[in-house]
Structure 1
Amino acid sequence: MPASFEGSAPSVSPIASLNASSAPPASLEPTPILWRILIGLFIGLFASTGYALQSSIGTRGQAAIGIVFFFGLVAMFSVNLRAVRWKTIGWGIALQFVLALLVLRGEMEIGGKTYSVYNALEGLGEVVKSFISFSDAGAEFVFGNLARVDHMAGTFGENFLFPFAFKALPPILFVSAFFTLLYHYGVLQWCVRVLARVMVYLMGTSGAETLSVSANVFMGQTEAPLIVKPYVPRMTQSELFALMTSGMAHISGGMMAVYINYGADPVAVLTTCIMACPCSLYLSKLFMPEVDVPETSGTTAIESTKSAYVNGIDAIVAGTTDGLRLALNVAAMLIVFVAFVAMIDGLLGLIPTSWFQQQLSLRWIFGQLFSPVAFLMGIESADQSTVGQLLGTKLAINEHMAYLDMKQLKEMPGAMSDRSYQLAAFALTGFANFSSVGIQLGGIGAMAPDRRSDLATLGMRALFVGFVATLLNAAIAGLFL
């Protein structure tokens, strides 16, 4: 992805300067405690009743309860429910449901043949897989048989371990270079503006925040804000929060390709990336509604900027360099976090098994904590603990670790149902984990040094809403699957 955004910030009107200052709004009144209690009691009672009746309501009923619960959870912690623009919320929910319906239920008959969006996305998923395979040619040229999974498996037999460094990391380089090339020629910006115009028109959000949210479909949580870099220093608190939340709720194009390469359901990954656009935007506005006048209210006419690259070759080289940093970061993070998990499991192993009637491990604890969340996504009872482990791993460690765990599960016959694998992919597709808070503070903070204190204040809140957004996407999918 591009490392810089050329061009100076546009002039700001006196009114915009006053209304879009970097200081937090002074007039923000908190949601009354009584409202929070009543919402909490309602969603708690609603979920408890559904849990007691799960055998009769089925998995779709669970998902329907989950949709209400996850939405209510964000509303309960809203900074100021009185200031919420319900038109924004209503259109956001409508867009999210329409996208889900089109993909999971949308069919049309043309010339006696039935066509569906789901089948089209399946075809697109195969295209993505073929696209990823192009990087295999380069990896095999450099690494030889080490990049050939079939050769390695035949050599090591039952002792075979997936060669992550030689198989999973090279696609990051290729996809990063490809997306940077699209950025250089303006293709990426055009796609982003098309998505943004729809949401600005329907939801009434500002152009800057909507462009950044739309860019997250293709770019990562620190690259997408580059699309609106000149405006970041003067964003309102609500805009800044939407920008951060969306980064948590999406993944980048490079990571999308990697997770599909791991064996994740491509339709689920592609669909949830698009659904996360309206979902993360309306949930962020529910949690922290706009009380100021953003500089780019009602428009996506962000000034065009010249590419920082001399030509396509320069863009490919720069994208490859950025991809290398990302790949090395991914490898380093996995080495460290897997080591920490092993250390924690070793410490938990010192606890006598008689205390809990079994050997404790981090995954087991995650499974117990997040099983209710898996229930609310519409996961069948036999798989709730397993999916709960994946969700806990994604939040506490990162989605890479969770996807690798799911990859191992797929190699075990009968470990989970196909439906559970699909819904897990919906929930795992997002950067919402604790390390992402630090990544955003560093990345977005470099664009707006004066807003670092605001970013630090909003970081954990954005993580919460971004994580709930991925769960809400999964619950909506669970309703229609």
Structure 2
Amino acid sequence: MKYLIALLGLLVVFAMTYAASNNRSGIRYRPLIVMVVLQAVLAFVLLNTGAGEFLVGGFAGVFEHLLSYAAEGINFVFGGIANEGQGPFFLNVLLPIVFISALIGILQYVKVLPFIIKYIGLALSKINGMGQLESYNAVASAILGQSEVFISVKKQMGLLPKHRLYTLCASAMSTVSMSIVGAYMQMIEPKYVVTALVLNLFGGFIIASILNPYTVTAAEDLLEVQEEEKQSFFEMLGEYILDGFKVAIVVGAMLIGFVALIALVNGIFQGIFGITFQHMLGYLFAPFAFVMGVPWAEAVAAGSIMATKMVSNEFVAMLDLGKTEGLSARTTGIVSVFLVSFANFSSIGIIAGAVKGLHEKQGNVVARFGLRLLYGATMVSVLSAVIAGLYL
């Protein structure tokens, strides 16, 4: 039965994406089929094999050690603030981002990350049939972050036509940055985080190739990555540490605001209609949860969490997932994969602002197709959840 539902889910995703395509005659189906098959194979390996369990365990183990090292610095500064045995969210989940950001800065400085990003991007461009720039950007987004990635290609930002700019922004919204992966792993199972990271990478290309198909000529396909201004090691380290702290503060502030506002709206709806706003949205998203593979009895609860992610952010939704009782392991896994992306309304402003900071005209272009960007990124999340549901 789950295979029939997965097939239905794929048909729904592709039909909804095809309906919104701006160039249906330009869709190239062979790369799409190859990437969907790759997604299915990779999901099987990660979720259903010993090799996958080893890889996920190794990845999670690395982050577990990194978080323990981060805790040393956090305890030195904030030790004694938390009551014994308690783990405040800001201290335990958000502040480790500072340490992970510092490590990313070091790997950037010694040229390890640029090498990895460039050559994985080149390999991906052979599979997805898109340009080297798009492939580089997708990998770089998953490591550097949805705002920072545009700095590395700022020389080309003003030269990009609208359709290529859309693909770059879609990649940034469909993936998540490596600096906050550790935070996710403390809220949901690491295997779902790793699976979503891999599936979203290909899913971004699949959905963009349907929504926004185009071909790139050899003359257009130039990848010129902006070198960061030469800094001393400690200048660089200080910059990345501060950047990580800013991310932690921004996420914390957004959580305070969104959780409080959702509580307010829920209170109003509860008083007037006898149902919370999130529960109402759950009914709207329940059909999508069902085609992702969630049992119908749990579809409204799952749909409520999915809606929360879209109207607020993935952290708020992950907190809700952890508090929701009665969900089966299958539903928890499918929803977890769906949540690992930046596909929400606030990301439209973040991405448009990042591009506008580098090129004002292009930033305005991004703002105009912002809702289309969110639509595509949400389809990527649904597609990843459908594929993962085959093996849960």
TM-score in terms of structure 2 length = 0.94
Which segments of structure 1 move beyond 6 Å, counting only runs of 4 or more? none
1:377 deviates by: 0.9
CA distance in 1 between counterparts of 2:21 and 2:225 reads 35
CA distance in 1 between counterparts of 2:79 and 2:370 reads 43
1:271 to 171, 176, 195: 195
1:133 aligns with 2:68: yes
Shift of the 392–295 alpha-carbon distance from structure 1 to 2, 3 Å rule, reads farther
Counterpart contact for 2:74–2:95, Cα < 8 Å: yes
1:321 aligns with 2:232: no
Shift of the 165–197 alpha-carbon distance from structure 1 to 2, 3 Å rule, reads same
1:397 deviates by: 0.9
1:79 aligns with 2:37: no
Partner of 2:377: 466
Partner of 1:350: 271
TM-score in terms of structure 1 length = 0.77
2:41 to 81, 94, 98: 98
1:260 deviates by: 0.6
Cα shift readout 1:171-218 (whole Å, capped 9, x = no counterpart): 111111111211111111122122211221122211111100111221
CA distance in 2 between counterparts of 1:307 and 1:401 reads 34
CA distance in 1 between counterparts of 2:96 and 2:295 reads 34
Shift of the 393–479 alpha-carbon distance from structure 1 to 2, 3 Å rule, reads same
Spell out the pairing of 1:116-131 with structure 2 (5 A cutoff): 116-131=51-66
1:428 deviates by: 0.1
1:189 aligns with 2:114: yes
Q: Secondary structure at the match of 1:360?
A: coil
Counterpart contact for 2:348–2:374, Cα < 8 Å: yes
1:295 deviates by: 5.2
Cα shift readout 1:364-418 (whole Å, capped 9, x = no counterpart): 1122111111111111233222211110000011111001112223xx5xx2222
Shift of the 266–350 alpha-carbon distance from structure 1 to 2, 3 Å rule, reads same
Contiguous gaps of at least 5 residues in structure 2: none
1:202 to 111, 120, 127: 127
1:318 deviates by: 0.7
Counterpart contact for 1:145–1:152, Cα < 8 Å: no
Q: Secondary structure at the match of 2:186?
A: helix
1:63 deviates by: 2.2
CA distance in 1 between counterparts of 2:28 and 2:186 reads 40
Shift of the 304–286 alpha-carbon distance from structure 1 to 2, 3 Å rule, reads closer
Q: Which letter maps to 2:313?
A: N
Spell out the pairing of 1:78-477 with structure 2 (5 A cutoff): 78-105=21-48, 107=49, 115-147=50-82, 151-153=84-86, 163-262=88-187, 264-290=188-214, 293=217, 296-297=220-221, 302-303=223-224, 306-352=227-273, 359-409=274-324, 415-477=326-388
CA distance in 2 between counterparts of 1:321 and 1:235 reads 31
- Is the radius of gyration larger for structure 1 or structure 2? 1
Counterpart contact for 2:26–2:214, Cα < 8 Å: yes
1:63 aligns with 2:31: no
Q: Which letter maps to 1:223?
A: E
Q: Which letter maps to 2:68?
A: S
Q: Which letter maps to 2:375?
A: F
Partner of 1:20: none
Aligned-pair identity (%): 27
1:308 deviates by: 2.7
Aligned length: 392
CA distance in 2 between counterparts of 1:291 and 1:451 reads 21
Report the RMSD for the aligned CA atoms in angstroms. Answer: 2.0
1:304 deviates by: 5.6
Counterpart contact for 2:3–2:390, Cα < 8 Å: yes
CA distance in 1 between counterparts of 2:224 and 2:270 reads 58
CA distance in 1 between counterparts of 2:258 and 2:388 reads 30
CA distance in 1 between counterparts of 2:271 and 2:336 reads 34
Counterpart contact for 1:248–1:467, Cα < 8 Å: no
Give 1 or 2: higher helix fraction.
2
1:270 deviates by: 1.2
CA distance in 1 between counterparts of 2:157 and 2:246 reads 24
Partner of 1:21: none
CA distance in 2 between counterparts of 1:328 and 1:380 reads 37
1:313 deviates by: 2.5
